[in-house]
Structure 1
Amino acid sequence: MQIIVRDNNVDQALKALKKKMQREGIFREMKLRDHYEKPSVKRARERAEGVRRTRKLARKRAQREGLLAAPKNRVR
């Protein structure tokens, strides 16, 4: 992974690095590897992640086909 520092702006480079690491999932993996995870717990977590991913894809597909209303954009 490589980040280019422009005009000695280290803060901006750090922000870009963190964003890139977040996208790659490095922070989540570091958190998971922090402590030992029993194989049964790991299987259950991975199965739950798969179910969540499948439901999300099905929801997006249904929205695209017009079967579900698109989510409302919240104003923050």
Structure 2
Amino acid sequence: MTVKLRPGESQEMLLKRFRKEVATARILSTYRKKRWFVSRSELRRKAKKKAIRKAKQRIA
């Protein structure tokens, strides 16, 4: 990801723009998810738990 300094732009604004682009591209969240190996069965189990929690919230 490249962010170039615009004319008349301060370093702080450049850094702020870079952080915003990283956040919108979800680079950090993707990195954190892929930091450790997670087996397929564990992914399915987590997805199932998430779906159950979501369904309970809709009912309540």
TM-score, scaled to structure 2: 0.57
Q: Would the alpha carbon gap of residues 3 and 39 (structure 1) be closer, same or farther in structure 2, given more than 3 Å must change?
A: same
Structure 1: distance between partners of 2:41 and 2:13: 41
Gaps of 5+ in 1: 56-76
Question: SS in structure 1 opposite 2:30?
Answer: helix
The answer to whether residue 4 in structure 2 is matched with residue 4 in structure 1 is yes
Percent of residue pairs identical: 16
State the number of aligned residues: 52
Query: How much has 1:8 moved relative to structure 2?
Result: 6.2
Higher helix proportion: 2
Task: Label 1:4 to 1:43 Cα distance change in 2 as closer, same or farther (>3 A).
Answer: same
Structure 1's consecutive aligned runs of 4 or more residues displaced over 3 angstroms after TM superposition are 44-48
Paired residue type of 1:16: R
User: Which runs of no fewer than 5 residues in structure 2 stay unpaired?
Assistant: 56-60
Cα distance in 1 for residues equivalent to 2:34 and 2:24:
18
Q: Displacement, 1:46?
A: 4.8
- Taking structure 1 as the reference length, what is the TM-score of the superposition? 0.49
- Report the RMSD for the aligned CA atoms in angstroms: 2.6
Corresponding residue SS for 1:43:
helix
Give the corresponding residue for 2:34. 33
Bigger relative CO (Cα 8 Å, ≥ 6 apart): 2
